[in-house]
Amino acid sequence: MEVLDRIHQVSLGGDRASSRGPTVSAYYLLGTDFGVFIDAGFPDEERTRPLLDYWRDTLGSPKTGWVFVTHRHCEHGGSPNIRQR
């Protein structure tokens, strides 16, 4: 969902070990020339899929220039799929 103008938030799957629901938010900032993924989710494609689907289906697969990670937790680095966009 668009939380501010051109800033989109997507909830991703939670921690497998505890079976919790969505606990992680990933973001996509839509710039004028390209976009940026921020804290792009878990390292596996399954739990990062909602972000890729949103990027493709809602935003139209805009050109992406960067993946930013704000801190060093495994649920923020994004899957290799994200980094290949």
Position 76 scores a pLDDT of 64
Look at residue 19 and tell me whether its pLDDT is greater than 70.
no
Q: pTM for the full model?
A: 0.78
**pLDDT tens-digit readout, 20-70:** 555 688 899 999 999 999 888 777 778 788 888 999 999 999 999 888 888
Position 11 scores a pLDDT of 85
Instruction: State the number of CA atoms in the 13 A half-sphere of 3 facing the CB.
Output: 10
CB 35 within 8 A of CB 6: no
64 strand-pairing partners: 35
Q: Parse the chain into domains and list their residue ranges.
A: 2-83
CA–CA distance, 56 with 77 (Å, rounded to integer): 19
Position 15 scores a pLDDT of 60
Q: Locate 5 and state its tokens.
A: 């103008």
